Structure 1
Amino acid sequence: MSDDYANRSYGEIPVGFGKKPGIVVVDFQLGFTDPQYPLGGAPLVMRALENTERLLKVARRYNVPVAVCNTAYLNEREMPYWKITAVRETFRHDHPSAALDPRIHDPAYDLTVCKKGPSIFFNTGVSDYFTKERVDTVIVTGCNTSGCIRATSIDSFSYRYRTIVPEDCVGDIEEQPHKDNLRDLGRRYVDVSDLATVLAQLEDWHRQNAD
């Protein structure tokens, strides 16, 4: 963090872990995780996928609410004005790349939604689900850090959730935008953490709430 931001008190107050966590998994669909597709297989995204898979195994064992999304459209007419050719051509309901990666998706457990904008919270009902589940802390995972992770994190903040972003559970096409966006989110809205710390927090939460 630069001295100018620090001198103006940016990032001074941690968000912290609240009374009940929920996890959102953003856009780990085959279009991003399968290298045969134009946007697929970026190293940081694949690292995030592997770490999120580990996180979700623990979360589901402890009955933590999980919401998973992909991004897909009926046709280009339904889409927002995306500037990415690959999104316009492949993010369709009938395209195989729209399917969620089975490594992170448990359809019998997860709330599964299809989003139409960058944030998992935008017009999806995820916030309603978390309200019913009494979630006050949202752990954000998925891709891409500079796009849909940033948008999801800001919406989570706006809904008044404590928001935690484990750095190694989110990924992007390039490392610099990944770092830059996490730095800026961490200055204002979220706690930037890591998988090991979040797993320890889940273990502690589970111990405190075990019957």
Structure 2
Amino acid sequence: MTDQITTIAGADLSGDYTFSGFGGSLPLGSRPALVIVDPAKAYSEPSSPLYVGAEEVVTRIRTLRAAASAAGIPVYLTQVLYDDDAGVLGGLFFSKVPALRHFVAGNPFSDFIDGLEPQPGEMVITKHYPSAFHGTSLAAALTATKIDTVLITGFSTSGCIRATTIDSLQHGFVPVVVSNAVGDRHREAHDSNLRDIAAKCGEVRSLDQVLSYLRTRSEA
């Protein structure tokens, strides 16, 4: 069966996706919100085991955030935070991923990255699982303000970015992952997840494309 599919669709993965009927597109709406997923020092500090070498990504997130503010769209920041070392609020996720101990309250790695701290008028969503939607009020807040499109940036591509993208779609918001304003520890994980997101559950756009979209919205 595998050999037959390879023969029909070709060995190239994108060809297989096209052959299988993936890779449609979703039009971006007129009422976007920006969700900055987990801009925590755990990802930006070289001494952290979760460090992703995020300097360029952090710079792009700042640029995107400034553009969102200028366009007058709502900005949400998420943070992973647990009350104690038992991680009860994280359930099996906390047990599965020992690195989550760095997000226990009081751990400096759980703090916001310098320059990405919450600003007046921005909203902070505290979460305990990968998705910004799971167990939080984010979907209700977006619905109440008639948001139709969610611009997604932050960390990490293969984990919380992907989970947030899937839940955004499932809650009825067009998810747009800003490809060069998200980061992961390994390039292979980053690239493969962006490719899969683009094929199956969201739009993947560059920072320049999203900035152009925001400028168009401001002019409108």
Q: Please give the root-mean-square deviation of Cα atoms over the aligned residues, in Å.
A: 1.4
Aligned length, in residue pairs: 204
Match of 2:47 in 1: 36
Q: Does the CA contact (< 8 Å) of 2:71 and 2:217 recur in 1?
A: no
Q: Does 2:95 correspond to 1:86?
A: no
Unaligned runs of 5+ in 1: none
Residues 113-192 of structure 1: pairs in structure 2 closer than 5 A: 113-192=125-204
Choose from 50, 66, 70 the match for 1:57.
66
What CA distance in whole angstroms lies between the structure 2 residues aligned with 1:195 and 1:101? 20
State how far apart, in whole Å, the 2-side matches of 1:48 and 1:186 are.
19
User: Which amino acid in the other structure matches residue 135 of structure 1?
Assistant: I
Matched-pair contact (CA < 8 Å) for 1:26–1:142: yes
Given that 1:29 and 1:100 are in contact with CA atoms closer than 8 Å, whether structure 2 keeps it comes out as yes
Q: SS where residue 124 of structure 2 aligns?
A: strand
1:136-180 deviation per Cα after TM superposition (whole angstroms, max 9, x unaligned): 000110111000001000000100111111110111000000011
2 CA distance for matches of 1:47 and 1:154? 25
1: distance between equivalents of 2:116 and 2:145?
21
2:26 to 15, 19, 31: 15
Amino acid at match of 2:104: R
Q: Which residue of 1 aligns with 2:216?
A: 204
Distance 1:188 1:86 in 2: 29
> In the TM superposition, what whole-angstrom CA distance separates every residue of 1:9-68 from its partner, at most 9, and x where no partner exists?
210x2112101110111111111112232223x22x332221111000011122111110
Secondary structure of the residue aligned to 1:61 is helix
Supply the AA of the counterpart residue of 1:67. Answer: Y
Listed as ranges, the gaps of 5+ residues in structure 2 are 1-12
- Contact 1:47–1:171 (CA under 8 A) maintained in structure 2: no
Max radius of gyration: which structure? 2
Match of 1:69 in 2: 78
TM-superposition CA deviations, 1:165-209 (whole Å, max 9, x none): 11101110000000111111111111111000000000001111x
Q: Is the 8 A contact 2:71 2:218 kept in 1?
A: yes
TM-score of the superposed pair, with normalisation by structure 1: 0.91
Q: C-alpha separation between the residues in 2 aligned to 1:65 and 1:102?
A: 20
1:3 and 2:12 aligned: no
Letter in 1 for 2:74: P
Measure how far apart 1:85 and its partner are: 3.1
In 2: Cα distance, 1:201 partner to 1:134 partner: 18
